[in-house]
């Protein structure tokens, strides 16, 4: 009987731990206000990246370095968003991936824009 009781209790605790983990919200359950905060943070991050990158164009010739410095300069925006989502009871791992995807999309767009800008600037004759 002791063996069966131990198995029963272990199973019960396992089921309880699954329920505790299920209390986190998913990004699909965002409220309108939370979604608005994510949109605003994403736009603010893109603006910050672009402004800092433009200020670095005369000092640096490698678009990858400019993008990297821009991301480091503007990282505080995504850190604030991450902390906001964590306080909203979102699971840490998916929240980190979600914020990372915002960062990756923005960085790829910035890098693409920088490369196009630098290519067109090199093609135009200097007076």
What digits encode the pLDDT tens for the residues 1-60?
566 656 656 665 665 554 445 578 776 778 899 899 999 999 999 999 999 999 998 899
Q: Where are the domains of the chain?
A: 33-123
Q: 115 vs 122, which has greater pLDDT?
A: 115
| Mean of the per-residue pLDDT values of the chain | 84
What is the end-to-end Cα distance of the chain in Å, rounded?
A: 93
Report d(CA 35, CA 21) in Å as an integer.
23
Report d(CA 82, CA 38) in Å as an integer.
9
Angle, helices 32-56 vs 92-123, to 10°: value is 30
């Amino acid at each position: 009987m002791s063996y069966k009781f131990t198995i029963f209790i272990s199973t019960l605790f396992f089921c309880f731990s699954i329920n505790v983990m299920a209390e986190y919200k998913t990004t699909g359950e965002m409220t309108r206000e939370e979604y608005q905060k994510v949109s605003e943070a994403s736009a603010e991050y893109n603006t910050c990246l672009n402004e800092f990158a433009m200020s670095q164009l005369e000092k640096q010739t490698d678009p990858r370095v400019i993008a990297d410095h821009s991301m480091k300069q503007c990282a505080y925006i995504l850190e604030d968003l991450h902390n906001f989502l964590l306080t909203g009871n979102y699971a840490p791992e998916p929240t980190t991936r979600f914020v990372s995807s915002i960062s990756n999309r923005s960085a790829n767009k910035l890098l693409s824009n920088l490369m196009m800008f630098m290519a067109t600037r090199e093609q135009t004759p200097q007076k």
